[in-house]
Homo-oligomer: A and B are copies of this chain.
Amino acid sequence: MGEAYQSGDGLPVELIGALAERFGDRFQQGDAIRLEHGRSETHFAPMPPDGVVFAETTDEVVAVVNLCREAGVPIIPFGAGTSVEGNTLAVQGGISLDLSRMIRIVAVNTDDFDCVVEAGVRREQLNEYLRDQGLFFPIDPGANATIGGMASTRASGTNAVRYGTMREAVLGLTVVTADGRVIRTSRRARKSSAGYDLTRLFVGSEGTLGIVTEVTLRLHPIPEAISAATCSFATIAGAVDTVVQSIQLGIPLARVEILDDVQIRAVNSWSKLDLPELTTLFFEFHGSERYVAEQVETVKELATANGGGEFRWAHRTEERSALWKARHEAYYAAVNLRPGAIGWATDVCVPISRLAECIAETKRELEASSVPATILGHVGDGNFHVVFSMDPDSEAELEEVKAINARLVRRALDMDGTCTGEHGIGLGKQQWLEEELGDAVDLMRAVKMALDPDNILNPGKVFQL
Residues of A within 8 A of B (CB): 109, 111-114, 134, 153-156, 160, 164-165, 167-168, 177, 181-198, 200-201, 203-205, 209, 220-221, 223-224, 244, 247-250, 252, 286-288, 290-291, 294, 349-353, 381-383, 412-413, 416-425, 429, 433, 436-444, 446-447, 449-451, 462-463
**Of B196, B209, B351, which one neighbours A112 at CB under 8 angstroms?**
B351
Chain B hits for A181, CB < 8 A? 439, 442
Known: A187-B416, A438-B184. A195 touches B451 (CB 8 A): no
Per assembly, the copies of the chain total 2
**Of B165, B183, B224, which one neighbours A443 at CB under 8 angstroms?**
B183
Chain B hits for A412, CB < 8 A? 189
The answer to whether B112 touches A353, judged by C-beta atoms less than 8 angstroms apart, is: yes
The answer to whether A190 touches B382, judged by C-beta atoms less than 8 angstroms apart, is: yes
The answer to whether B250 touches A190, judged by C-beta atoms less than 8 angstroms apart, is: no
**Of B209, B291, B423, which one neighbours A193 at CB under 8 angstroms?**
B423
Known: A111-B353, A195-B440, A290-B294; 20 extra A-B contacts, CB below 8 A, are A113-B247, A156-B193, A160-B191, A183-B440, A187-B417, A188-B417, A189-B382, A189-B383, A189-B417, A189-B418, A189-B421, A191-B381, A191-B418, A193-B204, A193-B418, A193-B420, A193-B424, A197-B201, A224-B249, A447-B450
CB distance from A244 to the nearest CB of B (A): 6
CA of A294 to CA of B289, assembled, Å: 11
Which chain B residue lies CB-closest to A197?
B200
Chain B hits for A249, CB < 8 A? 221, 224
